[in-house]
Amino acid sequence: MRFVPLLLIPALLIAAEPDWKTVDAESIDLLQRYLRIPSINPPADTRAAAELFKTELARVGIEAKLFEAGPKGQTNLVARLAGKDRAKKPLILMSHFDVVPVDRAAWRMDPFEGVIKDGAIWGRGALDMKGIGIMQLMAVLTMKKYEIVPDRDIVLFATCDEESGGDLGVRWMLKNHPEELEAEYVLDEGGFGTRDVLQKGKLVFGISVAEKQPAWLRIRAKGTAAHGSQPIPDNANMTLLRAIEKAMAAPPSGKAHPIIAEMLKTIGGAMDANKFTNAIQKNTLTLTTMKSGVGDPPRANVIPSTAEATLDCRLLPGVNAQEFISEIRARINDPRVTVELLTTIDDTPATSFTTPLFETLKRVIKKHHPGAEVTPMMVPYSTDSPKFRRKGLPAYGFTPMILTAPILATMHSDEERIPLDQFHIGMHMMFDVIRSEF
């Protein structure tokens, strides 16, 4: 009789379902500890965040590799959960350690405390994207702990500087350690589930397959410096104001992208009109900064010789950025004004959404949210995904949570937070995805 329990142990281990109550509690604790690390970019010192991941992975016997990419502690991490089928290339679960800065005065709590309040965890990075990072990490830790072997290798990849374009993150890793990122698929941030952003009352899950091209423009006006007591026609401030007005006067051009047609087909009707649906259907221009004046603080009685502003323009995939800029110059049509492109344009076509992984994502979403419609999606903001799409890998933006418009609006803004119930379901979804065969 003494031997019976021993014989049962392997069978129990193989069949065991995770104890979700414990896993959920651990995942909240882990997210709180992660949010308490102020991995603000700049300078994107992500050593502490990388160490947190590394320590948790080591506890279940997974060795993580850290890659220091810059002099200020900018650190990337790669860890691998071995799969059954060595012939299949891995799935990469990608996230970023870094977060954008905060305006502390606009928060009712410490943005780096991981406060739990009103059914949510509050903190910089909760949505973008420490919450998803922990879902990915917990899914891997749980698989390993319960000895569930995935079909193919799962590579956990967390980077240090997504928020400033990825030069020391994805770009640096692809250049210096491409062998670590040999894969067939990538899951990243991007799309999300919503009941109020695309069509009121309809539950739609978007998996992003395309995003707009950021074309940031600096508009600079030159004029004559003079005494503020005597108005002159050649005032750089006035020239700049008129230039901005002319640049933005006509409605933004751009014809709908085929992904939009796909979204409309899935949603079954028109999209609601709001800032998100507007942005994914058109080329947009946003006035983001204005700088002028002489002295610090700028003098009120001096007319400066230059004044400048930036326009954050986002172009639909397939739009020729140089033609767009020529159009802006033609609209302004003033020799005193220059228009300069500040970003590198890398137009990236949409990634395929007819893959076995896309079908798996769809199935997992419908398992946890019966009745949800699942659609490939365009997103207006930038992620690291295009860097893989350009290499021909399907990279999907998969945020496995239903988010309301007000919660989404806290991203890069004040009082960023993530609903606890969605965080838990999202983690279970991530687990279901990596345990599937695709």
The bridge status of strand 154-159 relative to strand 75-81 is: antiparallel
Residue 415 sits in the site that holds Zn ion (CB under 5 A): no
Residue in this structure with the two tokens 């193989």, named with its chain if needed: 14
Q: Is 128 in the site for Zn ion (CB under 5 A)?
A: yes
Q: Which segment (123-131, 139-147, 218-226, 331-339) binds Zn ion by CB under 5 A? A: 123-131
**3-state secondary structure (DSSP) of residue 132:** helix
Q: Which residue is nearest to Zn ion (CB)?
A: 128
Shortest distance (Å) from residue 128 CB to Zn ion: 4
Min dist CB 191 to Zn ion, Å, is: 13
Q: Quote the Cα angle for 402-405-406, to 5°.
A: 110
Segment interacting with Zn ion, rule: CB under 5 A, options 63-71, 186-194, 252-260, 342-350:
186-194
CA 239 to CA 247: how far, in whole Å? 12
- In the complex with Zn ion, which residue's Cβ is closer, 150 or 166? 166
CB of 275 vs Zn ion, minimal distance in Å: 18
**The pairing of beta strand 75-81 with beta strand 65-68:** antiparallel
Among 129, 135, 140, 143, binds Zn ion (CB under 5 A): 129
Side chain identity, residue 13: L
Q: Which of residues 197-216 bind Zn ion (CB under 5 A)?
A: none
Span interacting with Zn ion, options 39-47, 120-128, 211-219, 413-421, rule CB under 5 A: 120-128
Q: Which of 258, 271, 254, 267 is nearest to 378 (CA)?
A: 258
> Cβ closer to Zn ion: 129 or 313?
129
Of 128 and 153, which has the nearer Cβ to Zn ion? Answer: 128
Which of the stretches 97-105, 126-134, 364-372, 416-424 binds Zn ion when contact is defined by CB under 5 A?
126-134
Instruction: Considering the complex, state which of residue 240 and residue 401 has its C-beta at the smaller distance from Zn ion.
Output: 401
Token pair, residue 207, equals 């998996």
Which residue from 38, 26, 40 is spatially nearest to 142, judged by alpha carbons?
26
- N-term to C-term CA, the chain: 42
Touching Zn ion, residues 377-406 (CB under 5 A): none
Identify each DSSP E strand in 258-392 by its residue range: 284-292, 302-303, 306-315, 337-341, 373-379
Q: Where on the chain is the footprint of Zn ion (CB under 5 A)?
A: 128-129, 189
